Amino acid sequence: MDRRSPLLVLVALALTATVVADSSAGKPVVVSEGNTQMAFDMGIAPPKRPAERALPADLMMATKISSLDGGRPKTLRRFLFETDSHLILDLKHTPVCHYAPTQDLKTDWDRCSRAIIGTGVIYFDVAIPEQAPFVDNGAVYVYNGGIVRGNRRLWLRYSAPGPAEEMVVDPLEVQRFRSGPYRRLWTLSISRAAGGSAYLTSLRLRLKKGISASCPIEHPTRQWRFAATSEFSDGSRLIARTVDPCTPA
Q: How far apart are the first and last CA of the chain?
A: 32
CA trace torsion 199, 202, 203, 204 (10° rounding): -160
Q: From CA 160, how far away is CA 141, in angstroms rounded?
A: 13
The answer to whether residues 115 and 98 touch, using CB atoms and an 8 Å cutoff, is no
Return the percentage of the chain with pLDDT > 90, whole number: 56
The residue ranges of DSSP E strands in 23-103, in sequence order, are 29-33, 36-45, 48-49, 55-56, 58-67, 76-84, 87-89
Cis peptide before 47 (omega within 30 of 0): no
3 state SS of 136: strand
3 state SS of 247: strand
Q: From CA 77, how far away is CA 149, in angstroms rounded?
A: 22
List pLDDT tens digits, range 14-59: 332 344 454 444 578 999 999 999 999 999 999 999 988 999 999 9
List pLDDT tens digits, range 199-211: 888 999 999 999 9
Q: From CA 111, how far away is CA 62, in angstroms rounded?
A: 28
pLDDT at 163: 57
Q: Which residues are within 8 A (CB) of 212 and not within 5 positions of it... i.e. 6 or more apart?
A: 54, 55, 56, 57, 87, 88, 90
Q: Tens of pLDDT along the chain (249 residues)?
A: 333 333 333 333 233 234 445 444 457 899 999 999 999 999 999 999 998 899 999 999 999 999 999 888 888 999 999 999 999 999 999 999 987 767 677 888 888 999 999 999 998 887 766 666 667 788 999 999 999 999 999 999 988 766 556 788 899 999 998 878 899 999 999 887 655 667 888 999 999 999 999 998 876 778 999 999 999 999 999 999 999 999 888
The answer to whether residues 141 and 158 touch, using CB atoms and an 8 Å cutoff, is yes
pLDDT at 2: 33
pLDDT at 7: 36
- C-alpha pair distances (Å), 38 with each of 66, 105, 190: 7, 32, 16
Q: From CA 73, how far away is CA 76, in angstroms rounded?
A: 9
pLDDT at 195: 58
Show contacts of 152-160: CB within 8 Å, 24+ apart.
Answer: 152/89, 152/91, 152/176, 154/117, 155/97, 155/99, 156/120, 156/188, 157/99, 157/101, 157/108, 158/122, 160/124, 160/191, 160/193, 160/194, 160/198
